[in-house]
Structure 1
Amino acid sequence: DTIPIAVRGQAGHHALTNDTHTWWSAVTTGTDMVVEVPFSRWGHFDGIYDPDPNCWMESVTFPGGGILKTSVKHVQFIEGSELFDNKFFGISNMEALGMDPMQRHVLETSYEALHGAGYRKPQLLRSYIAVFTGCTNPEYAYVPHDMGALSGAGASQAITSNRVSFQLGLMGPSTSIDCDLSSAAMAMTLGNSAVSNQNIRRNQSGGTSTAALISGVYFCLTPVMWPRWNAFMNPAGRAFSFDQQANGYVVGEGCLTVVLKPYAEKVEQELVVANEPSVGNMVGWHIVNNGRNAGLAAPSGPMEQEVIAESFRMAGLSPLDVDGMECHAEGSRLSDAVELSACVAVLRRCEGGDKEMLIFGSCKANTGVQREACFMSGFLKVMLNMRYANNPPAIHLKQLNPYFEAGDAAHCINTESMPYRDSRVFHGIGSRGWGGTSINLVCWGAADASIVPVSRPKLFRRSFAYWPADAEKTEEVTSYYLAGSWNNWQPQPMSRGSDGCFTGTVTLGPEGFESFQVWVEGDSRQVLHPDRPNAASGSRALGPDPLDLIQQYHLNWLIDGRALAGRESALTSTQLPQPAELARARDAGEPGDEYQVKLWSGKFQAVAWERRKPAF
């Protein structure tokens, strides 16, 4: 009963570019965006950096001085962090001077995302749009800067979200969330709940949040916090996700925003899908905390399994429906192995789990760990993965983490670009915070045919052949069987009539449609089929061919009772019906109706059907 949540707009300020599609292309080609700290940020090599891996223990910092030591010298930076068009948002120069860069960039990406979702400034004023931002206390407070008379709100975590609501005139709930590395994921789940049809307050009030603006932002303005994080960071300067060299992460910067709206709305008890731009959809999510654990920051395998299982249960999916997982995979050897093992245990330790491939990925090897914003990079990566029907490679992967054991489960960590198995995809995304918060979201999307040509199934085209009268007669078939979706494709015999044709009965199931094939003498190696998927009544019967060949192209006949059932025809005098539409109209029925399927056998075979017995 849960309506999916659609991502209607997106924007991001990334390393190398401010265009998310360009950023995704860089990730797809295996670009490493991590660099040494440039002097334009701070003098990192003027007494701060020390190659001794334990130097951070000597650090003693206090306002105005102290000793600051770290063994890490790499970061992923965003160019132009100091730039801001304050006049566009009606902010004075004096106030803009005291604003934290995170507030500036969230304002810009928020309006960019709303603009991409179809909103304009006049529409935003007094609109009930929620604002949730994953962020932490700004590091701007630790950086020497001019603090004018109007800078009081410039370095406040709470104001990061509130300023967006104020400047754009948004009247929905507005708050900032800090759950360490899972901050943006928590903001996303709050946004989903705000616009979901399961939100009782939203349904009763008619919609207090018509949309939600979700952001994740982090800017590394000073290394003052690095001694506290040094034990979790990798002096080698890379996040070796999934690799046996994994020894911590490096910090990255990012500011990313998406606009969430319901995929459909109920209008007079009918679901109506909005004709709006769409990046992708979310169909399930779940949050847990590890509770009492081996340590505050220690991973918990059972809880990670639970959060994955519950999110897919909410989505109504079976484990084998899942095509891929975007892992948290921050570059910790133990945490990465626990996460991978939990995914395999839930999604592939089942019947058929050794055949259906599960693809693992993580963009943190490309971008570093963008602290409170890191979930958003993985999220937008998955959205564009599905749109481009492609999985970017995992870089820096030389030897797999030795603690990860998958057994015979079908899985893949691709080291080069790899397409999905289908044009429509279910993809999971995991996130984990330092304090034990674990979040998993389930996304659904389809390849964009305007970007990526979607391959069509091969059609078996055969013309009629008129045999000469004296041609050798073929061996006569004495029995045919119907095999279809109503009985899990178990063949049931057809009756031979006085006219030499074979007939069978199909009862329409609760979904309102049934698909079927015809098996010669009940043999799955001799299957009659149409020349296209979901063929209509009156189609030619080709074959016989082996079942495994036919299943590759979904060559079935389809009795579709949903065509016009329970409502007036949409055809007008200016819209002439096509033959297939007329055939679908003749199929119109209700669950429980009986249809008689007729096979004309012999040299020229065809299959047709008609409704014989209504359910009521």
Structure 2
Amino acid sequence: MARSVAGDEDDIVIAGMAVEAPGGVDDVDDFWSALAESRELIGPFPRDREWPLREMFGLGRVEGWASVADAGGFLTGATEFDPRFFGITPREAVAMDPQQRVALRVAWRALEHAGINPTTVEHSEVGCFMGASFTEYGPRVGEVNEHSGYRAVGTALGAVAGRISHCLGLMGPSVTVDTACASSLTAVHQAAAAIRSGECDWALAGGVCVMGSPGAFYEFAKSHALADDGHLRAYSASATGTVWGEGAGVVVLESESRARALGHRIYARLLASRINHNGKGAPIAVPSAHAQEALVRRTIDAAGIDPRLVGLVEGHGTGTPVGDPLELTALCNTYGADARRGPRLGSVKTNVGHAQAAAGMLGLIKVVLCGASGHIVPSLYGNEPSPAVDWSATGLRLATELEPWEAPDGVRYAAVSSFGVAGTNAHAILAMPVLEDTDA
């Protein structure tokens, strides 16, 4: 089924976005510059979080454990917040999970990016769907301390979306989604469904990850799945594991008819999104190429496009020796099935690390910025492709340089994947109209 370049008034579109990423990146222009310039934003562990760094860096000397490199994708502004701007007392702000703080300010910026004054949306039927996962920030709730009385909301995952809705006065559905690393794409999927069903007029959707503890590094050091040198080399022959990171991203979603009526810029159309699970079989944390391939095929069918039109696939790409080969197999069987032509493949994780619940959103915003500029950015460390698949038999190619992105039918098509450690998989297909190209 062919889709028109003009789109459909019932399409869900992205009308604005905002991002925070490692390396001091706090807006989409900075993010685009970092991606286009092939900058790696991974750096040493922060020294102001009271983490047991000496113990962490010594784990490699403990039997059964792997070493932890002094590297991660950390938000430099994670401890910065102006509570009074958002009507929050300083005492309550200290008790809030930093994920609530970061998500709140990124949501505000997303509205501004869409040309919407955040102070004018109170009492509106606007949804808020945010991906977020576990945190170990602050003292335990079950003890007496100076933050008691604020910790119930301060530690609740539901308050990540709830804070945004409360601050802005949004009265549509407000949901925090936790499907682990698939959380933010799942949030986009649910937000789009809520708009289509009439639950809300439009919505904010995104994800956030600020690590309240170094727990993720301990877990993957024990399972020998961390990069031994602190570099995340997705889909590369030299990949040794993942590197954990932080980040946040929010997009403004609405129907195309609403966007056009209000004069909002249409950055991209969400042609289709789908969610599934790996099912039973391997251990819960082990990905499934079969489930991923089935998900991609269902999403392509729902989008109603020829998969050969997809010019860019933003993969999950964690750099792990188990996950990447399985994902490559699924992608080669779908988007790479025609050996004569296929999309470029990359992962923003090579730049910023694996931002967990926010990872899919950072990848989605990367894709939208590529579409807006008409260029595909390189995926770092892609010059030595993984030997897990026969690259000569597939149309899939790793993106290794900044290159023009052609749009033969007037639209640039892209796909984004995100897979959770608990078995949930998410996939989305986007279309970016060339006719509305401007600087990102």
For normalisation by structure 2, the TM-score amounts to: 0.90
Report the CA distance shift for 1:31/1:142 in structure 2 as closer, same or farther (over 3 A).
Answer: farther
Q: Which letter maps to 2:311? A: D
Q: Which letter maps to 1:5? A: I
Q: Which letter maps to 1:363? A: V
Q: Which letter maps to 1:438? A: N
Higher share in strand:
1
Report the CA distance shift for 1:140/1:146 in structure 2 as closer, same or farther (over 3 A).
Answer: farther
1:111 aligned residue: 108
Q: SS where residue 60 of structure 2 aligns?
A: coil
Shift of 1:273: 5.9
Gaps of 5+ in 2: 1-7
Q: SS where residue 412 of structure 2 aligns?
A: strand
Residue 132 (structure 1) aligned with residue 139 (structure 2): no
Residue 4 (structure 1) aligned with residue 11 (structure 2): yes
Contact 1:94 1:148 (8 Å CA) reproduced? no
Matches within 5 A, 1:355-366: 355-366=340-351
Shift of 1:299: 2.1
Contact 1:315 1:442 (8 Å CA) reproduced? yes
Matches within 5 A, 1:366-381: 366-381=351-366
Equivalent position to 2:377, from 384, 387, 392: 392
Shift of 1:195: 1.1
Equivalent position to 1:26, from 31, 34, 45: 34
Contact 1:73 1:235 (8 Å CA) reproduced? no
Report the CA distance shift for 1:146/1:374 in structure 2 as closer, same or farther (over 3 A).
Answer: farther
Contact 1:131 1:165 (8 Å CA) reproduced? yes
Q: Which letter maps to 2:231? A: R
Q: Which letter maps to 2:14? A: V
Shift of 1:70: 5.8
Shift of 1:355: 2.8
Q: Which letter maps to 1:92? A: T
Matches within 5 A, 1:193-592: 193-196=193-196, 199=197, 202=198, 208-230=199-221, 231=223, 232-264=225-257, 274-349=262-337, 353-422=338-407, 424-447=411-434, 448-451=436-439
Distance in 2 separating the partners of 1:218 and 1:128? 26
Gaps of 5+ in 1: 58-68, 203-207, 266-270, 453-616
Shift of 1:361: 1.0
Contact 2:217 2:244 (8 Å CA) reproduced? no
Distance in 1 separating the partners of 2:47 and 2:313? 38
Q: SS where residue 276 of structure 2 aligns?
A: strand
Q: Which letter maps to 1:223? A: P
1:89 aligned residue: 86
Shift of 1:409: 2.7
2:5 aligned residue: none
Q: SS where residue 153 of structure 1 aligns?
A: helix
1:368-402: per-residue Cα shift (whole Å, max 9, x none)? 00011111110000000000111111212342211
Q: Which moved more, 1:160-169 or 1:218-227?
A: 218-227
1:588 aligned residue: none
RMSD across aligned C-alpha pairs, in angstroms?
Answer: 2.4
Q: SS where residue 248 of structure 2 aligns?
A: strand
* Overall identity of the aligned pairs, in %: 24
Distance in 2 separating the partners of 1:294 and 1:313? 27
1:181-226: per-residue Cα shift (whole Å, max 9, x none)? 1011111100111112xx2xx2xxxxx3011111211112322443
Q: Which moved more, 1:432-441 or 1:290-299?
A: 290-299
Distance in 1 separating the partners of 2:55 and 2:301? 53
Contact 2:107 2:164 (8 Å CA) reproduced? yes
- Aligned pair count reads 424
1:568-614: per-residue Cα shift (whole Å, max 9, x none)? xxxxxxxxxxxxxxxxxxxxxxxxxxxxxxxxxxxxxxxxxxxxxxx
Distance in 2 separating the partners of 1:248 and 1:434? 15
Shift of 1:134: 0.6
Distance in 2 separating the partners of 1:129 and 1:323? 33
Greater C-alpha radius of gyration: 1
1:40 aligned residue: 48
Shift of 1:243: 0.8
Q: Which moved more, 1:360-369 or 1:276-285?
A: 276-285
The answer to which structure, 1 or 2, has the higher relative contact order (CA under 8 A, 6+ apart) is: 2
Residue 77 (structure 1) aligned with residue 74 (structure 2): yes
Higher share in helix:
2
Contact 1:70 1:227 (8 Å CA) reproduced? no
Distance in 1 separating the partners of 2:426 and 2:179? 11
1:481 aligned residue: none
